[in-house]
Structure 1
Amino acid sequence: MTDPLAELQCSHLDRLERHYAETLSSLGHDGVLLYSGHPAPHFGDDQHASFQAYGHFQHWTGQADLAHSWLLVCPGRRPVLFLHAPDDFWHLPASLPSEAWTERVDVMKGRFDEPPALPRGRYAVIGDVDAATARALGAELNPGALLMALDEGRVRKSEYEVACIGRANRQAMAGHIAARGAFLAGAAELDVQLAYLQASRQRESHVPYGNIVGINAHGGVLHYQHYDTLPPKKPLSLLVDAGHRYRGYCADITRTWAGAQADGLFHALIEGVAQVQQQLIAAVRPGADYVALHERMHDLLAELLVEHRLVLGTPESAVASGITRAFCPHGLGHLLGIQVHDVAGRRAVNGAALPPPDKDPALRLTRELEAGMVVTIEPGLYVIPMLLDPLRKGPVGREVNWERVERLAPHGGIRIEDNVLVTSDTAKNLTPEVE
């Protein structure tokens, strides 16, 4: 059967070859050796941590689990993949998929715990490589200018990359639908996680990031990292932040659902946050300042808080006094691609640093949007005691309706996150609707 992505992948590789040739030539390099990386052992143990290959290696291959492998890229020559696949009866040796990219590289199979020798010339080696190895190769280790240029080459996605992110989204959404069904049937967090993995067809060590599955107050812990094995007596809410990886490319989706016994206010706020998100997605277009979009999120959240009488003052005062940031301390979103928090989100095209605003240190994307970027849009609203309690004790405490806050506290929080492509004039949501 013909792979429908093959033509797109070939165009993607053409683009990569041009970008690497221009970048290496401009910096005076004859080539670059990309190291996939290797799993790290636990201290004092013979077991290894979960592994994913280096992003720039995946940019060519899409292979997230190839360890100890190397890709040599030299302008004007076919790339060479040194595939670490030694004879082994303990583990299944690595193999390559039947994809178009494998026809565009020369493959050398063998044992490559040590890097292959390089031809004569000026080369760079990038990845998790130590200085002694780079010296032995006679190569420059992770030169900053090269890394910066290659990172920038991943910011605007090819049609192939967008298609892969779209497929990852569809698989992830199948998991979200199953997670919702398990929760409404009375499942514990662990059971919801297992339902997600089964429906999205992935093992836990292969998800692009640790799935967040928070029932009730756990939904207010932004990166909640546990799975209760017993269901709560009164299931009020579920927040699932979980993705999928397809050919190296990630989906990153969050949904929040109310349980049958949830407070009506929580139901209304879920709908309100969803409307906030849709307004923000509608504002995504080339030239839009993502920091300004983030600030717009706070304006809209303030209006929502006032509308539902969680805040008794004005929307303007809720933003100015820091109330909205106590209810939503994270950024609006980030770049998405091979990495969930993809590279160069805080760097301009010319390499200048674009740090987040002092009042929003968690904002991971601070540059203007451009066609081809894929970004997440993820407004949230949470009851987090360590952030809200200082307001209660301060002068702005009178502007917060604490009775309503206490009603919401057992529900944890709300986050709704979609993956959005910036097109030439607007936005395309790559995350399918829940059916």
Structure 2
Amino acid sequence: MHAAQYAEHINILQKRTLDAIQREGIDGLIIHSGQSKHQFLDDNHYPFKVNPQFKAWLPVVDNPNCWLVVNGVNKPKLIFYRPQDFWHWVPDEPSEFWAQHFDIVLLKHANAVEKHLPYDKSKYAYVGEYIEVAKALGFELVNPDRVLHYLHYQRAYKTDYELDCMRQANATAAIAHASARDAFFAHRSEFDINQAYLLGAQQGDNDVPYNNIVALNEHSAILHYMRLDTEVPKQHLSFLIDAGASYHGYAADITRTYSAEDGEFKDIIERVEALTKTCVDKLAPGVSYIDVHRTAYAGIAQILKEIEVLNMNAEDAVESGIVSTFFPHGIGHFLGLQVHDVGGHVADDRGTPFPPPQEHPFLRCTRTIEPRQVFTIEPGLYFIDSLLAELKGSEHSKYVNWNVVDRLRAYGGIRIEDNVIVHKERNENMSREAGI
């Protein structure tokens, strides 16, 4: 990690913070990393997940009860939780590349933070999840809309530091994907394939940015399948893996689909992969992300016609909406500190809503594409029993070759997902360049 990149990253966050607090007419922000949560009626904790607004500033993702005091002008103040505790891991005093950019105060007791915060909190806003903590500390302004709308909108424009973090995350995920692919072709169970992935990534279930989707055969038709069967199926037909990796709090989010044998399903995978590459090429400054989705939608319609699932032309399939049975989600989303990064459904930095079109309600981004934005591109084609049952009971049933559908049901579905940086004059496909 280049020190100059991180210094510039902090400068950009300082400028964004100053712009945001001036809109709100306040003096600064108090950003809370979060707290550990007890499980209900238990003394164990849920895995800690840090506030994204906190990890935007520094790569501390595993330490609750930390605080940042920022005003866009002065050196940010970090209140770093470091208790005396022989039950749990205690982090070292900060000394990494980022530490020099903060005035650091060590906090021994979480409930003693108030003495390190500004005395007059009326001109500061609390940014975090724990509203009751904010109120107890005397904050009147909590997660103000004007501030968050501005910061969320600006999050779409990644700094050089952030882009490097995401390249690193993709490189880690690519190694892990290769391990999982090899485990599939070795006829392992979903559970074992997931273990191979985590071993390849050298990250645990609580380190990767989301629960891995590791689906064999018909399970590939479940969009967010996370069960992980321990039994090896009688036959390995297909394998869909949607899995990422984390680096300094930034996410990779890659999906690949494999067929156990050459033949019809492998051919369909290759067609969807070609469509993914077409949609990646469609990304360009000035293009609406909605139009990229429409390219994918039309592309899936064409594939369905070519593989004889549909006996109507592609244009009519798009017009009728029948394609949504087989491609029920959006083409992708912003990617960054969060897997589904914020700011996708707004028209400006004041948070003016820009919802998806009525015919594509699950599209997670509607913005015009600009340089330094990072997107996933992930067309899919699935054979989902519940959606197929609805289609079979509709007036459009006659346009479906049900014998072909029934032949393909056992394979579940296909999704191919790449992570792409949009530059002024080119696109950088981080996933492909990482070798997966």
Instruction: Tell me which interval the TM-score lies in, with the shorter structure as reference length.
Output: over 0.9
**2: distance between equivalents of 1:43 and 1:286?**
48
Note the 1:9-408 alignment, pairs <5 A. Answer: 9-95=6-92, 98-110=95-107, 111-113=109-111, 115-116=113-114, 117-120=117-120, 122-131=123-132, 133-134=134-135, 136-260=137-261, 264-350=263-349, 351-408=351-408
- Aligned twin of 2:415: 415
CA-CA distance at 1:393 after TM superposition = 2.3
Q: Which range moved further: 78-87 or 123-132?
A: 123-132
CA-CA distance at 1:97 after TM superposition = 5.9
**Percent of aligned positions that are identical:** 37
CA-CA distance at 1:205 after TM superposition = 1.2
SS in 2 for 1:180: helix
Q: Contact conserved, 2:59 with 2:249, CA < 8 A, in 1?
A: yes
Q: How many residues end up aligned between the 2 structures?
A: 430
SS in 1 for 2:355: coil
Q: Contact conserved, 1:13 with 1:101, CA < 8 A, in 2?
A: no
TM-score by length of 2: 0.95
SS in 2 for 1:238: strand
What is the root-mean-square deviation of aligned Cα atoms in Å? Answer: 1.5
TM-score by length of 1: 0.95
Q: Contact conserved, 2:23 with 2:146, CA < 8 A, in 1?
A: no
Q: Contact conserved, 1:383 with 1:413, CA < 8 A, in 2?
A: yes
- Unpaired runs of at least 5, structure 2: none
**1: distance between equivalents of 2:205 and 2:288?**
36
Please give the per-residue CA displacement for 1:81-138, whole angstroms capped at 9, x wherever unaligned: 1111101100121236653321010111122245433143611111012246336334
- Unpaired runs of at least 5, structure 1: none
Q: Which range moved further: 13-22 or 229-238?
A: 13-22
**2: distance between equivalents of 1:364 and 1:25?**
29
SS in 1 for 2:253: strand
Please give the per-residue CA displacement for 1:320-351, whole angstroms capped at 9, x wherever unaligned: 22221000101100000000000111012242
Please give the per-residue CA displacement for 1:150-183, whole angstroms capped at 9, x wherever unaligned: 1122110001101100100010011110000001
Q: Which range moved further: 378-387 or 44-53?
A: 44-53
**2: distance between equivalents of 1:135 and 1:143?**
17
Q: Which range moved further: 179-188 or 31-40?
A: 31-40
Amino acid at match of 1:397: S
SS in 2 for 1:205: coil
**2: distance between equivalents of 1:239 and 1:73?**
43
SS in 2 for 1:71: strand
Q: Which range moved further: 398-407 or 211-220?
A: 398-407
Distance change >3 Å, CA 189–CA 71, structure 1 → 2: same
Distance change >3 Å, CA 142–CA 414, structure 1 → 2: same
Q: Contact conserved, 1:125 with 1:134, CA < 8 A, in 2?
A: no
SS in 1 for 2:421: strand
**2: distance between equivalents of 1:152 and 1:96?**
33
**1: distance between equivalents of 2:203 and 2:182?**
18
**2: distance between equivalents of 1:208 and 1:129?**
22
**2: distance between equivalents of 1:49 and 1:321?**
45
Q: Contact conserved, 2:16 with 2:72, CA < 8 A, in 1?
A: no
